[in-house]
Amino acid sequence: MEEERRQTGRRTLLKAGGLVVASGAIGSIWAFVTGVSTKGNARKRAMWIRIVDRPTLSEKTSDYKRFSGNDMFALYRPLKTQRDGAGSFEAEQASKAERVAAWIRERKPGYSLPDVQLSEGAWTVMHSTKPGVGLLSWTRISVRTPAELGTPRYTAPPEEMASTVKAAARLYGAGLVGIAPMNEAYVNLQALRESENEKDKDIVFGDVDVPSVSDTKFVIPKKMKWVIAIAIPMDLDLLSSAPTALGDAASALGYSHSAFVVSSLAEFIRGLGYEAIPCVNDTAQSVPFAVDAGIGELGRLNKLVTPEFGPAVRLCKVFTDLPMACDKPVDFGLVKFCRNCKKCAEACPSRALSFDDEPNFKTRGPWNNPGHKAWFEDSYKCLQYWQKSNSACGICLVSCPYTKGNEAWVHEGVKATASIAPAADPVFRIMDNAFGYGKQHDPEQWWMNKSQSGRRG
Amino acid sequence: MINGADVFTITIRKRAWWFWALAGLWLLLEILLLQTAVASAQEREYRAATISWMLVGLLATLGCFAWLRRRGPHKRSNLSEQHREATTSEPASISTAN
């Protein structure tokens, strides 16, 4: 009887042990997939996002140089000329407005008056500023400096500084934040022009204490050795109605949100006693800074793809002289995935994206910056479709298998598996299609769905 | 009482460890698919939601089938064992192997 009781006790102990081991294993897999940490309830990035020393597409040649920031005009001019015999960027914009007005009257789905005006409303913050002026001012707007408060400027170890800045950026609305070292090669040669007739303003680096903006040039102090790269997630439900005016609201909101985040962060840094330059698309190439800061990898779309939100993000950045610990690039298996996938290239209605198996150095026009390895896109074809659809398209952003709403747990598991077992990539590509991801959402249903949604996002 | 015998044996058979492991895996998959179905509908990914609901149903059916299928032969073999034991007039016992 005693022996039997002892055996039963041992068996119970073994069962309990097995349960603990099984729970531990499930917990570890969960932490690996989601990045949930037990330390201080913190949520780190998932463990399948590997930190590496060099970006996955890091090969560069001597051709890699500072790039002009104004090639958008070089694209629009031939586009308009081809269509109407003669034209300019401004003429094309005016012509687009007329075409959109006609579609509003025709009640084309996704181009109703509320659809169009939703986008216009979302642009408001971004349209109220421009590089060096207003929210994107290169100097203090209203914050009181430590000198005015009678205190020394804030100092802390670089890791703590980085952590403080990232916390502030997240509070202001950043989805992902990383710190990269300044690389002058990523900074544009000229400031973004507001119109085609404006004169080019050079962007130069100078041995100066404060950044400055004049009628002839923009001066970045050489002491600004750090770049805070930020990704703002776009509203995926809205973006999924692309290519429509309604879908454009996701981009517009992303831009306005970016302007708010970088201007708030720049003021915060100035308030700590340092200089800061807030930028959205202007002044420098956002993608290479974001790659260096470990926000994501360069994908087949020739855009940044983040592990969390795919390519459905808007990028912005802040240059500063505030010393911070820099982040490293990441590898989550994207380049390997893109080699097989090609879903974005197939989904692109204008066939603007590359079908090449391997990334290479072959640029496809003056809009591509040569000297680095990528899957280069044909921006001219892309803009032709923008013109045809009277929208900023965005189909490639939605079609990417990494673009997911992240409500379903299974997506994290798929991304984690793709990161550690690329052999499964073709299966995930097939599954993504079979489950119907990347298809256009009915624009007319968006309003009802949003009005009834209890969630904030 | 079976066939008039005044004693009978109840045998509770222990299921193999792998059965419980499979049942755990089944439950995890059901939860995952259920969550995917609900979340996909929230994300307006209706095709993904429909397929997930179908998979939830399919897996539930398979699970029930497996459960009943395992119980069926057991029941029969228990009965035949009980019948054997009862007719050979062994002493009454209740054995619990679990």
Nearest Cα of chain B lies from the Cα of A436 at a distance, in angstroms, of: 6
Other CB atoms within a 10 A radius of the CB of residue A269 amount to 27
Question: A28 pLDDT band (50/70/90 cuts)?
Answer: low
Domain boundaries, chain A: 54-331
Give the whole-number percent of chain A exceeding pLDDT 90. 69
> How many residues belong to chain A?
457
Contact residues for B72 (Cβ-Cβ < 8 A; gap 6+): none
End-to-end CA distance of chain B: 24
Of A236, A407, A445, the CB nearest to B39: A407
Q: How far is CA A338 from CA A303, A372, A394, in A?
A: 12, 17, 18
DSSP E strands: which ranges in chain B?
10-12, 94-96
Whether the CB of A4 is below 8 Å from some CB of chain B: the reply is: no
Report whether A258 contacts A232 (CB < 8 A). yes
User: Rounded to whole angstroms, how far apart are CA atoms A357 and A342?
Assistant: 9
Whether the CB of A355 is below 8 Å from some CB of chain B: the reply is: no
A441 CB neighbours in chain B (<8 A) are 44
User: Rounded to whole angstroms, how far apart are CA atoms A158 and A174?
Assistant: 20
Among the residue ranges A88-97, A305-314, B18-27, B42-51, the one predicted with the least confidence is: A88-97
User: Rounded to whole angstroms, how far apart are CA atoms A317 and A230?
Assistant: 6
pLDDT digits over A376-385, tens only?
999 888 988 9
Paired sense of beta strands A313-320 and A226-233, if any: antiparallel
Of A408, A434, A441, the CB nearest to B44: A441
Report whether A382 contacts A240 (CB < 8 A). no
Q: Specify the pLDDT at position B60.
A: 95
Which residue reads 């969550």 in tokens? B35
A227's enclosing H/E stretch is strand A226-233
Q: Specify the pLDDT at position B1.
A: 46
CA proximity to A166, closest of A324, A311, A313 = A324
- The three-class DSSP label of residue A50 is strand
User: Rounded to whole angstroms, how far apart are CA atoms A178 and A169?
Assistant: 10
Q: How far is CA A174 from CA A146, A170, A314, B71, in A?
A: 25, 5, 10, 56
Whether the CB of A405 is below 8 Å from some CB of chain B: the reply is: yes
- The three-class DSSP label of residue A445 is helix
Report whether A230 contacts A261 (CB < 8 A). yes
- Say yes or no to pLDDT of A198 above 60: yes
Report whether A428 contacts A414 (CB < 8 A). yes
Chains A and B: how many Cβ contacts under 8 Å?
A: 43
Other CB atoms within a 10 A radius of the CB of residue A183 amount to 13
Count CA atoms closer than 13 A to A188's CA, side-chain side: 25
User: Rounded to whole angstroms, how far apart are CA atoms B57 and B51?
Assistant: 10
Average of per-residue pLDDT across A155-179: 97
Which residue reads 């855009």 in tokens? A303
Q: What is the mean pLDDT of chain A?
A: 89
Pair of tokens at residue A156: 């802390």
User: Rounded to whole angstroms, how far apart are CA atoms A175 and A235?
Assistant: 12
Contact residues for A278 (Cβ-Cβ < 8 A; gap 6+): A135, A136, A137, A138, A259, A262, A263, A265, A266, A316, A318
Average of per-residue pLDDT across A415-420: 94
Nearest Cα of chain A lies from the Cα of B27 at a distance, in angstroms, of: 13
For chain B, the maximum distance between any two Cα atoms, rounded to a whole number of angstroms, is: 67
Pair of tokens at residue B31: 């939860």
A412 CB neighbours in chain B (<8 A) are none
Look at A185 and B69; give whichever has higher pLDDT.
A185
Q: Specify the pLDDT at position A104.
A: 94
Q: Whole-prediction pTM value? A: 0.85
In SS3 terms, A140-165 reads as: CCCCCCHHHHCCCCCCCCHHHHHHHH
Of A409, A434, A449, the CB nearest to B44: A449
Nearest Cα of chain B lies from the Cα of A408 at a distance, in angstroms, of: 5
pLDDT digits over A345-361, tens only?
999 999 999 999 999 99
Question: A433 pLDDT band (50/70/90 cuts)?
Answer: very high
Q: Residue A313: beta bridge partners?
A: A233
Q: Specify the pLDDT at position A25.
A: 67
Q: Which of A22-26, A212-216, A380-384, B14-18 has the highest mean pLDDT?
A: A212-216
Tens digits of pLDDT across chain B (98 residues) = 455 567 888 877 777 888 889 999 999 999 999 999 999 999 999 999 999 999 999 999 999 988 887 665 555 555 555 555 555 544 444 444 44
Whether the CB of A436 is below 8 Å from some CB of chain B: the reply is: yes
Whether the CB of A437 is below 8 Å from some CB of chain B: the reply is: yes
Average of per-residue pLDDT across A398-427: 94
Task: Kindly determine whether residue A435 and residue B48, on different chains, have CB atoms separated by under 8 Å.
Answer: yes
